[in-house]
Amino acid sequence: MGKIICTGLGPGDPDLISVRSDRLIRAARHVAYFRKAGRRGQARRIVEGMLAPEVREYPMEYPVTTELPFGSAEYNQLLASFYDDWAGRLADLATTNDVVVLCEGDPLFYGSFMHLQTRLQGRVETEIVPGINGMTGCWNATGIPITWGDDVLAVLMGTLPEDDLLRHMQSADALVVMKTGRHLPKVRRALERAGRLDDAWLVERGTMPGQRVMRLAESETGECPYFATILVHGHGRRPELEE
C-alpha cells in the first residue's frame, strides 16, 4: 500500500525547494501535477532535470473553460468532476505505489491539492510537505522586509470587491495582493484611495527566470500576469505600551 505525498515546490527557483521535497521528488517513480491544457505547466517546469529517468508522469489538466463563465454552477460542476476523477486515479495508483504530487508554493496556502485531499480522506494515506509560498519569493525579490515589529499583514485577492480591498488596505500595515491580473486597475484604484499607491511594488515571476520588480506607480496601468503580486511593506508598528 503506497501513499500520496504532496510536495510544496516553493516560489519557482528549484534551489528554494526544501531538502525533504527535493529528496522525495528525485526518488519518485510516479509524479502528478496540475497544469492548464496544452501548457507545460509551472510545477513541471520547476522540477525540470530533477525527475528520475524511469519516472511516470501524470499531468492533471484543468478542464478548458472558454465556454463556461468562471465561477458559474456549470463550471464548478466540471471542476468537481475533474477532481473526483483524479482523486480516483491517484487512489488506484497508490494501492501499489507512492505517488508524489507537485504543488507550487505551499500546498496549504491557496493550493489546489486540498481539493484532492478532501476526496482522498479515508481512502489512502496522504502526507503534505510545506514549501516557501509565492508571496515570500516576491518580497525576497524586493530585498525589503515585508513585516517587522508588530506590523499587521493582510493577504488579499485582487478578485475582491474594491470596497473590501480598500477597508483592508486602510487597516493593515503590510499588504500582499495576489490574483491581480485583469483586476489590476481596481486594485490600483483601491490603493490610491487608501493613500498607499506610492508605497506599492509589483513583482512578476518572483524568483523565476524573467523576474520583474518595479514600483506599481511606475508600471503599465493595464493588465498584468494573473500571478503577479503587489506588495506594500510594513514599517515596524510599535503599539502603545499597554497596562
Binding site for its own copies (CB under 8 A): 8, 10-11, 13-20, 22, 69, 71, 106-111, 114, 128-133, 136-137, 139-140, 143-148, 150-157, 159-161, 164, 167-168, 171-172, 179, 207, 238-242
Provide, rounded to whole angstroms, the least separation between the CB of residue 153 and its own copies.
4
The three-state secondary structure class of 146 is coil
Q: Give the type of residue at 37.
A: A
Measured from the CB atom, the residue of 56 and 83 that comes closer to its own copies is 83
Q: Are strands 99-103 and 30-36 parallel, antiparallel or unpaired?
A: parallel
Q: Do 44 and 26 meet the contact criterion of CB atoms below 8 Å apart?
A: no
Facing residues of 33 across strands? 59, 102
Nearer CB in complex with its own copies: 56/115: 115
Q: Which is nearer to its own copies, 56 or 157 (CB)?
A: 157
Cα 175 from Cα 47, distance rounded (Å): 30
Least spacing, CB of residue 13 vs its own copies, in Å = 8
> 132 or 216, CB closer to its own copies?
132
Query: In the numeric block, which cell numbers belong to residue 80?
Result: 468537481
Q: Which is nearer to its own copies, 32 or 107 (CB)?
A: 107
Least distance CB 109 / its own copies (angstroms): 6
Q: How far is the CB of 81 from its own copies (least distance, A)?
A: 18
Asked if 12 contacts 42 with a C-beta cutoff of 8 angstroms, the reply is yes
CB of 99 to its own copies, least distance (A): 18
- Residue 98 CA to residue 28 CA, distance in Å, equals 8
Q: Strands 200-204 and 212-215, how do they pair?
A: antiparallel
